[in-house]
Amino acid sequence: MRVAFFSTKSYDKEYFKKHSRRYKHDIIFYETSLSEKTVNLAEGCEAVCVFVNDHIDENTITALSKIGIKGILLRCAGYNNVNLEAAKKQGIKVLRVPAYSPESVAEHSLALIMTLNRKTHKAFNRVRENNFSIEHLVGFNLFEKTVGVVGTGLIGQAFAKIMLGFGSKVIAFDVYENEELKKKGVRYVSLDELFQQSDIISLHCPLTPETKYVINKDNLQKMKDGVMIINTSRGALINTKDVIGGLKSQKVGYLGLDVYEQEQDIFFRDLSESVLKDETISRLMSFPNVLITSHQGFFTREALDQIATVTLNNLTALQKKEELVNEVI
C-alpha cells in the first residue's frame, strides 16, 4: 500500500525503514505537517500517517476523501487531533498505536519530578562553571509523599508502580479502577480528594471534553500550597493562564511539562535562531521552578520500535481488509 507520512523526522525514517523491510508498503516521507493545504502531497496514496500535531479537521478529511485516501494512521496513542465524526462520514478508517512502551512516558514523568525536586539541571550548569556551591538546591524525599495519579491506563499504571517503588503513598482517580494497582496499595479516591491530598500530581489521562482544563483556577485552590504538577499527556489538560497564576501565588511550587496546549507551532522544531512569538510559553520558561521538555516522553528506542511495527501492521490489516484491532471507534 502506498502511504504518505507527514511530520516526519530523521528518527521516523530510521525506524520505519528498519522495520519496513518485512512489509511491502511504499512509504513517502514528508517533513511538513498534514492540513487542508498539504493534502495534495498524498495524491496517489491510499493512506496517510500522521503524528500528534497534525491537524486533521473536517475540511482536511473531506480533501483526503476526494483523492481516495482509505485510512488515517496515527503513530501515537492519542487521537484528539482527528475529527472522527468526519472520518466516519467519509468512510475513512482511523487507526492508532494504543500502547507503545508505556514505561517510556512513565519514566519521563519521573525524570521531570526528580529534576525539579533535586534541581540537577541547575547543579549541572553550576559545576560546568566551576561553581560547587549547593546553596538553594535543597529538595525533598519522595519517600512517604502522597502522589496523585490522574488516569490509570497503561502509562498511569506504569507510573504508579514506579512511585510505589520509591515508598510514596499513591492515590489515583480514574473512571475505571484497576484491581491490580489496588492490590499493590494504590488507593482510588475522588478527583477532589486527589487534589486536596497530593504533594505531587501527575496527569496520565486522555484529552476529552470532560478532562480539558482539569487543572484550572478552581481546582488549583483545592491543592496543597507548593504542589508539584506534572503533565506528560496532553497540553490542554492544563489551563496555562490559570497555572501561571498558581505559580505567581506560589500555590504551584513546581511545574513539569512535556506537552503544551499550543505546541504545534513550537515543539519538534529548532527555533534557536528565531524570536519565540508565543508569549505564554515564554512566561512559563521565566519561572525558575518550571521545567519544559518538547514532547519527548515517548522517545526511547523501545517505543520507536513498537510505534513502527504496530503502525505497519495496522497498514497491512487495512490493505488486506483484515480485522482492524487498533481502529479508533
Q: What integer pLDDT is reported at residue 145 of this predicted model? A: 98
pLDDT at 57: 96
Same domain flag for 77 and 6: yes
As a whole number of angstroms, the distance between CA 218 and CA 257 comes to 20
Catalytically active residues, by annotation: 234, 263, 295
The reply to whether 17 and 111 lie within a common domain is no
pLDDT per residue as tens digits for the range 131-185:
999 999 999 999 999 999 999 999 999 999 999 999 999 999 999 999 999 999 9
Residue 232 in this model has a pLDDT that exceeds 80: yes
User: 175 and 310 share a domain?
Assistant: no
Q: What is the model's pTM? A: 0.91
Higher pLDDT: 329 or 231? It is 231
The reported pLDDT for the residue numbered 100 is 83
Considering the domain boundaries, does residue 327 fall inside one?
no
One domain for residues 221 and 199: yes
**When comparing pLDDT for 264 and 219, which is higher?**
219
Q: What is the pLDDT of residue 244?
A: 98
Name which residue leads in pLDDT, 329 or 205: 205
Q: Mean pLDDT for the chain?
A: 96
Q: What pLDDT does residue 78 have? A: 86
45 and 134, same domain (yes or no): no
| Separation of CA 68 from chain center | 30
Q: Give the contacts of 51 (CB within 8 A, at least 6 positions apart).
A: 6, 7, 74, 75, 76
Can you give the CATH number for the domain in which 222 is found?
3.40.50.720
86 and 223 together in one domain: no
Query: Total structural domains in the chain?
Result: 2
> What's the pLDDT tens digit per position in 241-299?
999 999 999 999 999 999 999 998 899 999 999 999 999 999 999 999 999 999 999 99
pLDDT at 216 over 90: yes
Asked, for residue 328, whether it belongs to a domain, the answer is no
Same domain, yes or no: 84 and 112: no
The pLDDT value recorded for residue 329 is: 76
- Per-residue b or e along 134-163, where b marks 16 or more CB atoms closer than 10 Å to that residue's CB: eeeeeeeebeebbbbbbbbbbbbbbbbbbb
Together in a domain, 95 and 140: no
Task: Determine, yes or no, domain membership for 175.
Answer: yes
Summarize pLDDT for 71-91 with one digit per residue, the tens.
999 999 889 899 999 999 999
Q: Which range of residues forms the domain containing residue 15?
A: 2-100+300-320
Q: Is the pLDDT of residue 111 over 90?
A: yes
Predicted confidence at residue 39, as pLDDT, reads 96
Question: What average pLDDT does range 13-40 have in this prediction?
Answer: 94
Average pLDDT over residues 228-232: 98
Q: Please check whether residues 24 and 50 belong to one and the same domain.
A: yes
Task: Note the pLDDT of residue 53.
Answer: 86
Question: What is the percent of the chain with per-residue pLDDT over 70, rounded to a whole number?
Answer: 100
Is residue 135 in some structural domain? yes
**pLDDT tier, 240 (very low <50, low <70, confident <90, very high otherwise):** very high
Tell me, yes or no, whether 87 lies in a domain.
Answer: yes
Structural domain includes residue 69: yes
Co-location of 94 and 157 in the same domain = no
Q: What are phi and psi of 164, to 5 degrees?
A: -60, -35
Q: Is residue 34 part of a domain?
A: yes
The average pLDDT across 191-198 equals 98
Residues 242, 235: Cα–Cα separation, whole Å = 13
Question: Rounded to whole angstroms, how far apart are CA atoms 14 and 3?
Answer: 16
Residue 1 has pLDDT above 90, yes or no: yes
Task: Band the pLDDT of 21: cuts 50, 70, 90.
Answer: confident
**Whether residues 71 and 162 fall in one domain:** no
Determine, yes or no, domain membership for 112.
yes
Q: Are 279 and 159 found together in one domain? A: yes
Residue recorded with cell 496527569: 203
